[in-house]
Structure 1
Amino acid sequence: MNAIEKITDAERMGRILAAQRTAFLRDGATSLAERRASLAKLKSALISRRQMFEAAISSDFGHRARQETAIMEIYGVVGGIDYLHKNLRRFMKPERRHVALHMQFGRARIDYQPLGVVGVISPWNYPVQLSLMPLITAVAAGNRVMLKPSNVTPATNALIASMLGEIFTEEQVALVEGDGPAFSSLAFDHLVFTGSTAVGRAVMKAASDNLVPVTLELGGKSPAIVAKGGVQDRFVSDIVWGKLLSGGQTCIAPDYAMVHESEVDTFVASFDRLVKAAYPGGPTSEDYTSIVNDRQYGTLIDLIEDARAHGAQIIEVGHQPGDAARRPHTLAPTVVLGVTDEMKIAHQEIFGPILPVFPYRKIGEAIDYVNARPRPLALYYFGGDSAERREVLDRTTSGNVTINGTIMHVAQDDLPFGGVGESGIGAYHGIEGFRRLSHAKGIYEQGRWNIVKLLQPPYGILAERILKVLLR
């Protein structure tokens, strides 16, 4: 290559993809031992860089509590690695399938083989977890991986790239930055995208040109439904935690709460008191995360001001909410009452520390409100084991559900994680993730004796008699 040759993002990405596919076809599927070794190296590298990742993510966000990074980013991936390492032999084992009576003496099975090259597009809100969880799933399934992280988190991206470069060759795993549409247009064997619904539509459209199957983990407005009598500190504290974790910038954060009309005031008072307990230093506390950048901060301010202009009641909660102005792009925890359909906040995913609270009279009203909107990525229910809880679970459709808590379903490694409808397509984590990024090849081995052989020409009376039995 001469010094003046200009290589576009699409050309560079295409070359890496071609090299990975060539290596995959040349070397074949990696062994159980090789996959486990890769996972173990990545776990060790991640743990040894904990403090570096805490600093990098805090730098990218302006401020993020180091414990939040350790819990949600580092531990989340380490737990996933441990789970895959432990269960990988079972996942890779061929699965026997039933053979019909008239085809007995034959044998049927499913072999799970790697797809080839998997593309991963990750977002900025959890730049380590949402980059590495699909990556480790793809590696566990025996694939090569190309990772395209968000350009919003450059310090974290650089650290991930350095770490992956020490463990894998570029033919195995490559991190690329640059043109997102160009990446989405590559002829991967599978593409995993995590991000907004709007961008997810564009990614799926680009992937369709090459018939690339996609897994889309999107988002939406995840409700927290509080049963009558459910305004208890143990429940409200979980809503506080789930809503304010990472400054509300969590795709499965409770987007809004639905509370019985007789308990709304009690809920708001409890929410305020428990925010104060969680963040005694107010919004400039070391434990409180700022909004990732001025653009996202501006979007949140616009939601609040639009709601205020349409008559909503805006309530800043916690200690010294006015101190938020002392830290760049930091927003105090905020409750919004009186939300109506003409307000943007009723329809846009909030992605910040703002909690609209909707009153309801009967549980059916809350269910109808959820069902009138796109299906959410998560749903939370707070209350006893009652007919109402069963009704909420039976009549609503969401990605996953946590009962009497928030967020924690994503930490259950043996559960699939993903959305439905506008909140996503497909799921990963658990055995479902391994299978999502594998090809389930059905194999039938015909036995020496097979009744079906009697149905081959020349046909006669025996064939007719067999058909009568099979078609009765």
Structure 2
Amino acid sequence: MDHSLKSPPVTALDDTFHAMIEASRGTSPPDLAARQDSLRRLRGMLADNERRLEQAISADFGHRCAFETTIAETLFLQTELKHTLKMLPRWMAPRRIATSLQFFPARNRLIPQPLGVVGIIAPWNYPLQLTLAPAIGAIAAGNRVLIKPSELTPHFSALLRELIAAAFDPIELSVTGIEDGVAQAFAALPFDHLVFTGSTRVGRIVAEAAGRNLTPVTLELGGKSPTIVDVSADIDEAAERIAYAKLLNAGQTCIAPDYVFVPEARRDAFAGRLHGHMLRMFGTNPANGDYTSIISDRHYQRLEGLLRDAIARGAKPLSVTSPEDPAWKKLRKFPPTVVVGATAEMAIMQEEIFGPLLPVLTYRDAHEVIRFINAHDRPLALYWFGKDETARENVLARTLSGGVTINDCLLHFAQMNQPMGGVGASGIGHYHGEWGFDSFSKLKPVFYRSPFNRMKDLYPPYGASIAWIEKLLRFLS
């Protein structure tokens, strides 16, 4: 292979990828014991290095609440590993498929097989969970996995690379560097499947690069996930749950509530209670260890710009202080802010917020809300609060989103027996649990002909008997 025009990191990437390809094509797929061994090594690596991983992630953020890393990343992965290890024998088994009457007594089977080499381009916001959750599904399906971490998490990326290298052969599971040029070269490789988690804008670039190789993709993107507070809702309960979901990881969550629709007459009451719950949870001190920093100065400045634009267009912020407050800005802690009186033309309603800003919009008729949601890109998540079952079912029937949680937020993502994935601009494909196993497998249909089957009666030359056979086939069809 001629590496003369490639940088050392890209050369190393090529070498690792091609070694994985050769191994996946040249050896038998890993059996159940081998896959379980890989998953147990991954589980042991997480358990033995939980504190180091937590510290590395916090160093990348400036400050990351330790408990948030535990519940949203480490424990999530341990739960998925436990579930996968338990269910893997059943997932791997050939699946019986019904056989049409005209082919009896033959059999159909669906046989799961590894695709080969799966690539994962990981994001920065939940760097551990969103790197290893798809890897768990890919490993369970018998694939070799190559991971490209985010350049915004250099401490975590270096540690993950070290830990994976110590626990796995590089042709089983490997982590690339984050140097310039690696991301572009990674997306251009002819993987058997490619997973990308990140923005819709970059997702389009990744999909275009993968398309040149006809590589199937799973795109976990984002967008503006709406929250609807119905007239039948308990507004204090809704405000508390929305505040928590919005401020987890300081709003840097792809399925965070992005904006809230409330009945016009209850706007001020709702906004006040929402702000009150934010204060109760995180207080007024930017040094509060429960509150996570914004990942970078650039992202902090982007959020400042969204808020300035909203204020200039007439919105009223509810916050403990301005994001320009030096005490908050020094720590890159963006003050939790309710944006009251948000309107569709504001920049804050034009792009995914990905931070602790929550616009509150109003409605008089629930049909207005549905029309608004359907006039925009399909969201990754939708949240509905209320007690009116008819209103709830109307929203579920008339909107399309990646997933929904009723009377809370985020929790549909944590269901191991439910798929996680977007629709349209918010993503393509699914993973989690058996859905991940199936996404990273070729479910190969196999037909087993019986020696007693009379298909030979259909062979030419066609004689007089073909007429009654045709009638029989029409009857059975």
Distance in 1, matches of 2:39 and 2:321, equals 42
Is the contact made by 1:9 and 1:182 (CA closer than 8 Å) also made in structure 2? no
Instruction: Spell out, residue by residue over 1:17-73, the C-alpha distance to the aligned partner (whole angstroms, 9 max, x if none).
Output: 110011122222111111111111211211221111111111100111100001111
Which of 201, 206, 214 is the matching residue for 1:198?
201
Residue 407 of structure 1 deviates from its aligned partner by: 0.9
Residue 377 of structure 1 deviates from its aligned partner by: 0.5
Which of 296, 307, 311 is the matching residue for 1:293?
296
Which residue identity is paired with 2:261?
A: M
Distance in 1, matches of 2:8 and 2:474, equals 61
Which of 389, 393, 407 is the matching residue for 2:392?
389
Q: TM-score, normalised by structure 2?
A: 0.95
Distance in 2, matches of 1:70 and 1:229, equals 35
Distance in 2, matches of 1:369 and 1:227, equals 15
Q: Does 1:450 align with 2:453?
A: yes
Residue 326 of structure 1 deviates from its aligned partner by: 5.5
Which residue identity is paired with 1:168?
A: F
- Mean alpha-carbon deviation: is it higher for 206-215 or for 339-348? 339-348
Size of the aligned set, in residue pairs, is 472
- Mean alpha-carbon deviation: is it higher for 7-16 or for 175-184? 7-16
- Mean alpha-carbon deviation: is it higher for 277-286 or for 298-307? 277-286
Which sections of structure 2, spanning at least 5 residues, go unmatched?
none
Residue 15 of structure 1 deviates from its aligned partner by: 1.5
Distance in 1, matches of 2:433 and 2:383, equals 21
Alignment partner, residue 307 of structure 1: 310
Which of 465, 470, 473 is the matching residue for 1:470?
473
Which residue identity is paired with 1:52?
A: R
Which residue identity is paired with 1:264?
A: R
Secondary structure of 2:465's counterpart equals: helix
- The 3 A distance-change label for structure 1 pair 317 and 398 is farther
Residue 414 of structure 1 deviates from its aligned partner by: 1.0
Alignment partner, residue 404 of structure 1: 407
Alignment partner, residue 419 of structure 2: 416
Residue 94 of structure 1 deviates from its aligned partner by: 0.4
Alignment partner, residue 259 of structure 1: 262
Secondary structure of 1:142's counterpart equals: coil
Q: Does 1:433 align with 2:458?
A: no
Alignment partner, residue 115 of structure 1: 115
Distance in 1, matches of 2:211 and 2:17, equals 17
Is the contact made by 1:284 and 1:323 (CA closer than 8 Å) also made in structure 2? no
Residue 238 of structure 1 deviates from its aligned partner by: 1.1
Paired residues for 1:185-224 under 5 Å: 185-224=188-227
Distance in 2, matches of 1:324 and 1:372, equals 40
Is the contact made by 1:194 and 1:217 (CA closer than 8 Å) also made in structure 2? yes
Is the contact made by 1:273 and 1:318 (CA closer than 8 Å) also made in structure 2? no
Which residue identity is paired with 1:220?
A: G
Which residue identity is paired with 1:11?
A: T
Paired residues for 1:94-105 under 5 Å: 94-105=94-105
Is the contact made by 1:283 and 1:320 (CA closer than 8 Å) also made in structure 2? no
Is the contact made by 1:455 and 1:463 (CA closer than 8 Å) also made in structure 2? yes
Distance in 2, matches of 1:73 and 1:43, equals 13
Distance in 2, matches of 1:233 and 1:48, equals 41
Secondary structure of 1:428's counterpart equals: coil
Kindly report structure 1 stretches of 4+ aligned residues shifted beyond 4 Å. Answer: 317-324
- The 3 A distance-change label for structure 1 pair 318 and 234 is farther
Distance in 2, matches of 1:435 and 1:326, equals 45
Q: Does 1:328 align with 2:331?
A: yes
Residue 329 of structure 1 deviates from its aligned partner by: 1.9
Is the contact made by 1:317 and 1:335 (CA closer than 8 Å) also made in structure 2? no
Is the contact made by 1:283 and 1:321 (CA closer than 8 Å) also made in structure 2? no
Instruction: Spell out, residue by residue over 1:366-391, the C-alpha distance to the aligned partner (whole angstroms, 9 max, x if none).
Output: 11111111010011111115100010
Alignment partner, residue 82 of structure 1: 82
Distance in 2, matches of 1:132 and 1:308, equals 40
- The 3 A distance-change label for structure 1 pair 307 and 318 is closer
Instruction: Spell out, residue by residue over 1:204-259, the C-alpha distance to the aligned partner (whole angstroms, 9 max, x if none).
Output: 00001110000000010001111114243322111011100001000000001111
Residue 317 of structure 1 deviates from its aligned partner by: 4.7
Which sections of structure 1, spanning at least 5 residues, go unmatched?
none
Distance in 2, matches of 1:447 and 1:471, equals 21
Which of 343, 358, 361 is the matching residue for 1:358?
361
Q: Does 1:66 align with 2:66?
A: yes
Residue 106 of structure 1 deviates from its aligned partner by: 0.9
Secondary structure of 2:147's counterpart equals: strand
- The 3 A distance-change label for structure 1 pair 368 and 283 is farther
Q: Does 1:268 align with 2:268?
A: no
RMSD: 2.0
Q: Does 1:245 align with 2:248?
A: yes
Instruction: Spell out, residue by residue over 1:384-417, the C-alpha distance to the aligned partner (whole angstroms, 9 max, x if none).
Output: 1510001011111000111111111111111100
Q: Does 1:284 align with 2:287?
A: yes
Secondary structure of 2:303's counterpart equals: helix
Alignment partner, residue 132 of structure 1: 132
Distance in 2, matches of 1:115 and 1:464, equals 45
Residue 281 of structure 1 deviates from its aligned partner by: 4.8
Paired residues for 1:129-208 under 5 Å: 129-177=129-177, 178=179, 179-208=182-211
Secondary structure of 1:380's counterpart equals: strand
Residue 321 of structure 1 deviates from its aligned partner by: 10
- The 3 A distance-change label for structure 1 pair 122 and 320 is closer
Residue 319 of structure 1 deviates from its aligned partner by: 12
Is the contact made by 1:112 and 1:440 (CA closer than 8 Å) also made in structure 2? yes
- The 3 A distance-change label for structure 1 pair 258 and 327 is same
Which residue identity is paired with 2:307?
A: I
Distance in 1, matches of 2:445 and 2:353, equals 44
Identity %: 44
Is the contact made by 1:335 and 1:356 (CA closer than 8 Å) also made in structure 2? yes
Distance in 2, matches of 1:454 and 1:8, equals 64
Q: TM-score, normalised by structure 1?
A: 0.96
Distance in 1, matches of 2:297 and 2:144, equals 36
Which residue identity is paired with 2:127?
A: P
Residue 453 of structure 1 deviates from its aligned partner by: 1.9
Which residue identity is paired with 2:368?
A: E
- The 3 A distance-change label for structure 1 pair 140 and 404 is same
Residue 12 of structure 1 deviates from its aligned partner by: 2.7
